[in-house]
Amino acid sequence: MTPKEAMHLAIAEGKKGAGFVSPNPLVGCVIVDRDFNLLAHGYHARCGEAHAEIQALNAVADKSRLEGAHVFVTLEPCAHHGRTPPCAEALAKLPIQSVTYGLLDPNPRVKGQGAALLSKAGKEVSEFRELHNELEELCEIFLINQRRKRPFVAMKVAMTLDGRIALPSGSSQWITSAESRAQVHYLRGCYDAVVAGVGTFLRDDPKLNARDPRWADKPHRVVLLDPEGQAITKLEGSQLLKVRDPSHIYVVSQAQKPSGLGVHQLQVEIQGGEFEPSALMQALQAEGLQSLFVEGGARAYTSLLRAKLVDRLFIFIAPKVLGEGLVWLHALGVESIDQALCFQDVRVTTLGNDVFCECSGLRG
């Protein structure tokens, strides 16, 4: 393998842990022998379980082939004791020749320390100089958590060609194709919690769970944004409670109300009828929610975009025109084209007859 092929494989391995490693990062690791023949690969599968480097090492059948071997890992090996021992220490004790990592770990408990420990042990240590965008995307949730000190925010919008998300009556089943809906169920499981506005809850009585078999044993957490406190008395008998434990529901309001349901009630400051965005992020992160998948409605979409808190946007566009109905976004205060919010990185594909657009790198 070439070094680039090895890191490509490490990235692909890391993706396999999506949805299960929070609050840890997605990490993949590849080990090649002294002649760059593949020995093993591994990934961090679940929080609390062995990290990618250890998984890869455990997969090496003939340990004698580690003599002079090279390790490629997507993130700098950890150097601190957490739920598992430090990976850098484990690597330092082996007869390997080099360790190449994709990104420097931004966590102050690690940053540079894993690389330093390995260098001190006589290993050749280097940061990979290619595939930077791919490596950043693999680790994007963790990087936002560390750099911005808030949850990662992904937003999903399903709309018609003329930007409608529902008929004037609120009916929206189904605007998009079965293929698009299947993708949504996969995406829901990739994040710590699904977020919806109270209007969506009151109008649709949705389940908002991830009905993809890959997430069968994962808690389906949901956050209801409820500024006026309308939701708490409507939860009993709702679809939300039928498909999940009450402890996996978080209702955010400006004031708590009596409830014997066992759901979490979070109190967040209101400004102009909306939650103060940074306070909302802090409250959710304090509950251990490191990544959010926002599914509506227009108030939530608008508030988060206006605050530039959207890290990844998924738009499903059906080849349909309604002519009238509910729009997905309200005014953002943009008064000239130069003030428009712009996403720098865009990928476009099709799902059934729908256009699937994935955007990141918000600027504006």
pTM for the model: 0.93
**Architecture in CATH of 3-143:** 3-Layer(aba) Sandwich (3.40)
- The question of whether 53 is a catalytic residue gets the answer yes
Q: Which of 158, 153, 194, 201 is nearest to 179 (CA)?
A: 158
Q: What is the pLDDT of residue 80?
A: 74
Is the model's pLDDT at 170 over the cut of 90? no
Catalytic site residue from 53, 76, 140, 295: 53
Is the model's pLDDT at 85 over the cut of 90? no
- Confidence band for 297, pLDDT divided at 50, 70 and 90: confident
Q: What is the pLDDT of residue 109?
A: 79
- Domain topology for 150-363: Dihydrofolate Reductase, subunit A (3.40.430)
Least confident range of 30-34, 229-233, 254-258: 254-258
| Residue 184: alpha-carbon gap to chain centroid | 13
The burial class, CB within 10 Å (0-12 / 13-18 / 19+), for 85 is: middle
Instruction: Pinpoint the residues of the chain covered by CATH 3.40.430.10.
Output: 150-363
- Confidence band for 274, pLDDT divided at 50, 70 and 90: confident
Q: What is the pLDDT of residue 178?
A: 95
Q: Is the dihedral of CA 164, 309, 155, 296 positive or negative?
A: negative
- Confidence band for 364, pLDDT divided at 50, 70 and 90: low
Instruction: Pinpoint the residues of the chain covered by CATH 3.40.140.10.
Output: 3-143
93-104 confidence digits (pLDDT tens) = 999 999 999 999
